[in-house]
Amino acid sequence: MSRLQFSKEGRFRILMVSDAHWNYRKHVPYTGEMYRERQRRIVDGIERLLAWAKPDFVLLGGDQCLGADTEEEMQEEMEKLLAPVLKRGLPWAAVFGNHDREQNHSLETEQRAYEKIPGCLSAAGPEDLPGVGNYCLEVFSSREEGVACHIWGLDSLAESKRDFVQYLNLPQDTRFVLPRPLHMGCGYAGVTPKQVFWYYRESERREREAGKKIPAVMFMHIPLPELCTTVRNPAECNLWGMQLEKPCPPELNSGMFMACLQRGDVKGIFFGHEHSNAFDSEYCGITLGYDGTIGYDMNGTTCYMWGGRVIDLTEDGGFSTRFIPLMRLMKLEDMGIWGERRE
Amino acid sequence: MEKLRFSKEGKFRITVISDIHWNYRKKADSSDAALRRRQQKITAGLEALAAWSEPDLVFLGGDQCLGADSAAGMQAELERLLMPVLKRGLPWAAVFGEGDSRKSDALKTEQEVYARIPGCVSTAGPEELPGVGNFCIEILSSQEDTAACHLWGLHTLPEDDYPRYLHLPENARPVLPNPLYGGSEQAGGLTPEQVLWYYEESERRERKAGKKIPGLMFLHHPLPEFCAPVRNPGECWVWRYLAEEKIGASELNAGMFMACLQRGDVKGIFCGHDHKNGFDSRYCDMLLCSNGSFGIDLEDVPYALWGGRVIDLAEDGKLTTQYIPVMQLMDREEMVTG
């Protein structure tokens, strides 16, 4: 397995790309040629982001939606999607999204397919935790042996009616979403208390082992409820970037944000899920940011949101991030049907 | 410390009183004589409630606000306040509120005073946890010496303690102009460490007992999830007495509600703090109850909200609760003369 390490200059760059929805068909009929053209555009988008950002590591933010049934086909589709990453021999990892669960296979199978592809660093994670893909990656220091940064990935599950009922062992008819909701009234699930406590204890253990707190960034697909605070208070939260839809966190808050605050290691938490949000914001010293979407030509999504997020870490614990719209890397006329002028 | 136990009939009754604010002086008349009259009313009310409800345990829900600096002074005030409880030899427990002290050190002294008074079953709790008064009290089965129910008490910290416990940056502002939950500057809450302590302690006790033990949880401040019933009365009200103020929950959510759901042992969460909220509600099959206030003559609080809460536990896990307005239990003359 490849090893993540800060450069000699003490830098490490992550590129996050989310919501590829590889097997998406916008409408019927969506002919084979249009389908292939869309996939070509996605790969081209990743290629341009990589060429511009030159990251050390790529993170897929969920909803890859490969649309294959067998492990072999999945591996094949994923290799097509990741072609520009694999060409460069870059290490990569992924978290799963809600739609990845709607495919004709289990996430365990998909994770196994991922692990056969060169450079894959994400793991299924502890058996006793809900979901697939709860892990902590280590970025080593440039100078000495030892870990300088952690990259946490968590599985934010899918639907509260299914996953919270199952993992919290609640009655089938539990109404999570009420007419006047606590957050935004979405039925999505999110990380559960068990995952929060796993992160908390694991982060403590690693601090003890290293003899120091290790700065970190965290990735999951579905946003945390605290995003509702930052969009309601954009000026106070230093919000920057496009916010064209409401955040859709789960109605139940498992306390992950506060656990990160108390641990004091996580500097930024990044989400995918919403195709029309690509901003970042700050709350209580933690950056909360959305990746846009790399999925090309999807309903309700515009070309502004097409892109990826760059996260720059420095070895002394510094951290910065920005969303890179593909508009910045190409001209309108090169954007295919997204760039077509409409009369 | 004395043991709590279900009766032979498998019953256990808790009477909760919250937000006494023992040393509160009304703006209109802040004289010592007026304070003594107010304190007499509180004691008379507690006498009436204790005589009527005949509880097995009395629970103080925070903001006792004894208003004494020395340990001896605190003990004297609390003994005066608890007179009807002590007279009956009843066990009692307490959680602290932000009005009791914003400093943990002062609360340690107060807890030591509490522990010296007969019948006190609440404890300071693990040293490494934030706050004072994080505990789990066992109610033993009527049949044998094993726990049949747990009473969890947790110290919801004043919000201005968060910078210390969460190591927040100096300029961090948890409460913003457009808040997510209660949005109150004074509202305190729990930290993840306390949630994790409850979770692991509850797991440990389940392993030890070989079964899940039903529990109740007592906090001074409401959890953010208390906003759900107030915003959705049609869907969540079990019984409404009065809910006249917005929920004073912390803007930061430590996830205690969801941790309780996941553990599946806590059947009801009881809070004080909001003097003008006295209600019973249900969200995700969890009973969420606000206790009103037992401190009569607090500014703006209607007399109708002067009361306590009776919680009836059955050994088979059944739970019922009722808010009891004190004025239904006594005549004006008793109130005035004490």
Give the chain B residue whose CA is nearest to the CA of A231: B178
Residues A105-154 pLDDT 10s? 899 999 999 999 999 999 999 999 999 999 999 999 998 789 999 999 99
Structure tokens at A288: 């909360």
Q: Which residues of chain A neighbour B231 with C-beta distances below 8 Å?
A: 178, 180-182
The model's pTM: 0.92
pLDDT at B338: 47
pLDDT at B188: 80
Residues of A near B (Cβ–Cβ under 8 Å) read 167-171, 174-176, 178-183, 192-194, 196-197, 200-201, 225-226, 228-229, 232-233, 236-237, 252-259, 261-264, 284-285
pLDDT at B241: 63
Chain B, window 183-202: residues with a beta carbon less than 8 angstroms from a chain A beta carbon: 191-193, 195-196, 199-200
Q: Which residues of chain A neighbour B256 with C-beta distances below 8 Å?
A: 255
Q: Which residues of chain A neighbour B198 with C-beta distances below 8 Å?
A: none
pLDDT at A342: 58
Query: Are the C-beta atoms of residues B271 and B62 closer than 8 Å to each other?
Result: no
User: What DSSP assignment string belongs to A109-166?
Assistant: HHHHHHHTSTTB------TTSSSS--EEEEEE-SSSSSEEEEEEE----SBIIIIIHH
Long-range residue pairs from A317-320, CB within 8 A, at least 24 positions apart, any chain:
A317/A215, A317/A267, A319/A215, A319/A217, A319/A267, A319/A268, A319/A287
Weakly modelled stretches of chain B, pLDDT under 70: 1, 240-241, 336-338
The pLDDT of A2-6, averaged and rounded, is 91
Asked whether the predicted pLDDT for residue A341 surpasses 70, the reply is no
Q: Which of these, B12, B8, B10, B3, lies nearest to B313 by C-alpha position?
A: B12
Size of interface A-B (CB pairs under 8 A): 129
Beta strand A286-290 with A280-283 is: antiparallel
pLDDT at B240: 66
The pLDDT of A283-303, averaged and rounded, is 93
**Chain A touched by B89 (CB under 8 Å):** no
Whole-angstrom distance, CA of residue B138 vs CA of residue B136:
7
Closest CA of chain B from A260, distance in Å: 9
Residues 6+ apart with CB under 8 A from B208: none
The pLDDT of A174-178, averaged and rounded, is 94
pLDDT at A1: 57
Residues A236-277 pLDDT 10s? 999 999 999 999 999 999 999 999 999 999 999 999 999 999
pLDDT at B336: 64
Contact A252 B257 (CB under 8 A): yes
Give the chain B residue whose CA is nearest to the CA of A184: B180
Q: How far is CA B269 from the centre of its chain?
A: 9
Asked whether the predicted pLDDT for residue A98 surpasses 60, the reply is yes
Structure tokens at B309: 């809460």
Contact B193 A171 (CB under 8 A): no
Query: Are the C-beta atoms of residues A133 and A195 closer than 8 Å to each other?
Result: no
Whole-angstrom distance, CA of residue B231 vs CA of residue B237:
10
Could you give the 3-state DSSP secondary structure of residue B99?
A: coil
